[in-house]
Structures are given as C-alpha cells and as structure tokens.
Amino acid sequence: MRTILVLNPKGGSGKSTVATNIASYFATQGRNVTLADCDPQGSSQDWLAARSGSRNSINGAILKNHSLEIPKGTDVLVLDTPAGVSDKRLSKFLSQAQTMVMPVLASPIDMRAAERFLHELFSLKGTVNNKIKIATVANRVREDTLAAAKLEYYLNHIKLPNGKKLPFMTMLRQSQNYIRAAESGLGIFELAPSKTYYDREQWAPLLRWLNSNKSLPKK
C-alpha cells in the first residue's frame, strides 16, 4: 500500500487542501484511495461527505483510540493530520507512512515555524530518508510578491541531516479553484481542465515525485 502523510504542525498551512487533492488525483487514476482524517476538526471528512457518489469513490477513515481502520483493498492511503503535532504523536504519524508532504505558506511566521519543526524532525535520527521521504510544497502563493520569492529561496535551501537538499517540489498558487473544488468534495483534477490548466501544471512535479521511487524510503 502506498502511504502518503501530509503534515505541518502550523495551523492553516494547507494540509487538508493538499491531502484532499492528492486523494482526488489518485482516485481519478482509478486507484483505490483511502483518505484518513486524523484531525478532530474533520475537514477531510467534511470534504468526503460533500463528494457526489457519481465521482470515483474515495474511502474515509478516522482515528479511533489512536488507531486507524484502513479498508481492505486500499492501494493509496493519504493521511491528513491536525495542527500542533509533535513529540510522540509526530513519531507515530511518521511511522505510518512512506512519504511526507509538507505544505508551507509564504509568511515569516510560517517559515519560522517550519524551521523549528524541521529541527525537531531532523533530530529523530534515522527517520528522514531511511524510514520516510519528505518534500516541501509552497502553498497559497501570490505570485510575483516578495513573500513568494522569500519562501521559494527558503525552501530551496533547506538541507537534510545528510547534507543533501530537502526536496522542494512546487509552488501552488492561491486560487479560487481549490475553494470551488472543495465545496463539492472534489480536487482541482476533477474540475474542467481549461479552468485548472495552470494549477495542474503546478501539481505536476509533486505528482511525478509521488509516482516515482524517489518518494519511497530505502528498503
């Protein structure tokens, strides 16, 4: 089973938006997808509840007594996580996935929070790259702003504990397409291609990575 964790302890960074869009993408590829909502806020669950039965189905799973019941036959599991995850809960989430996607917003507060979180993450020795592969995604970017340029520079220069670059996949723009899609429990891949061409282009590097061995930890 392919397991993808979407995590950033900073609230509002775009975890649920990225998680639901990853789930929607794999569903459009005919995969058996389960979207696990590990946040008591229930954003992903609400998104699933709004999804029409005529669309490629996506299973839901929620955390019960700290454990997840994953439907049999799932080939892609996407985990949406709450804000504020650290310590033991962080280790538990990391142990459940092969790949982690971390969305980061273009603001000094979010970048500083990302820095602190990565420090905690990298201190978990032997985890990053060996047990889980991680990449960042800039989210809700307003193009041609200084804030966007600073975020791009920051994400492009994060080093892993082994000295290699932490993969930075793409910049996702701020777009009403995400809001419009989420209203009906959809991802941008399920809206008209003519209206989402630019967003799809922005997603392409992340999807290529998720579909490649590069996003899988060493065996």
Ligand X SMILES: Nc1ncnc2c1ncn2[C@@H]1O[C@H](COP(=O)(O)OP(=O)(O)OP(=O)(O)O)[C@@H](O)[C@H]1O
* Cβ atoms < 10 Å from Cβ of 217: 16
Round the CA-based radius of gyration of the chain to a whole number and report it.
16
User: CB under 6 A: which stretch of 51-59, 130-138, 167-175, 190-198 binds ligand X?
Assistant: 167-175
Measured between its terminal Cα atoms, the distance across the chain in Å is 14
Distance separating alpha carbons of residues 148 and 143, to the nearest angstrom: 6
> At closest approach, how far in Å is the CB of 20 from Mg ion?
9
Q: Which is nearer to ligand X, 21 or 127 (CB)?
A: 21
CA-based torsion, 181, 187, 193, 195: positive or negative: positive
Q: Which stretch binds Mg ion (CB under 5 A): 11-19, 124-132, 164-172, 195-203?
A: 11-19
Contact 85, 121 (CB under 8 A): no
Task: Find which of ligand X, Mg ion, none residue 47 binds, CB within 5 to 8 Å per kind.
Answer: none
The count of chain residues that interact with ligand X, using the rule CB under 6 A, is 20
**What does the per-residue mask of binding to ligand X show for 107-136, with x meaning CB under 6 A?**
------------------------------
Q: Does 16 bind Mg ion (CB under 5 A)?
A: yes
What does DSSP say about strands 99-105 and 2-6: parallel, antiparallel, or unpaired?
A: parallel
**Residue in 39, 37, 40 with CA at minimum distance from that of residue 58:** 37
Which of residues 85, 140, 151, 188 is near ligand X by CB under 6 A?
140
Nearer to Mg ion, 15 or 133 (CB): 15
Q: If binding is defined by CB under 5 A, does position 15 make contact with Mg ion?
A: yes
